[in-house]
């Protein structure tokens, strides 16, 4: 199991992540950072309609945004492209 896969498993089990780690997971599942606007990082995925907005809360990711990313991964059947 690669470090990114371990990180994904830890985030899925705990529901908590640093902002940097959540961005790494988003990119590992094929999301691309399109732009930043202030503290908002806007990601897009070619197979998922809409955008994923992530913003830090200090050094951590906001819990509802973690759930939002995990729900997008599950509901669209996304696979990790960067192990």
**Is 82 within the bounds of a domain?**
no
Range of the domain at 7: 3-75
pTM score:
0.91
- Residue 80 within a domain: no
Domain CATH number, residue 46 = 3.30.920.30
Residue 62 placed within a domain: yes
- At residue 58, the pLDDT reads 94
Give per-residue pLDDT as tens, 25-55: 999 999 999 999 999 999 999 999 999 999 9
What pLDDT does 50 receive? 92
* Tally of structural domains, the chain: 1
**Residue 68: band (very low, low, confident or very high) from pLDDT cuts 50, 70, 90:** very high
Question: How would you class 74 by CB atoms within 10 Å of its CB: exposed for 0-12, middle for 13-18, buried for 19 or more?
Answer: exposed
82 has a pLDDT exceeding 70: no
């Amino acid at each position: 199991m690669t470090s990114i896969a371990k990180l994904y498993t830890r985030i899925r089990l705990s529901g908590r992540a640093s902002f940097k780690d959540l961005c790494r997971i988003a990119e590992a599942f094929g999301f691309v950072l399109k732009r930043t606007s202030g503290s908002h990082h806007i990601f897009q995925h070619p197979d998922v309609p809409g955008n994923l907005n992530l913003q830090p809360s200090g050094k951590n990711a906001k819990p509802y945004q973690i759930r939002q990313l995990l729900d997008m991964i599950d509901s669209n059947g996304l696979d990790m492209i960067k192990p």
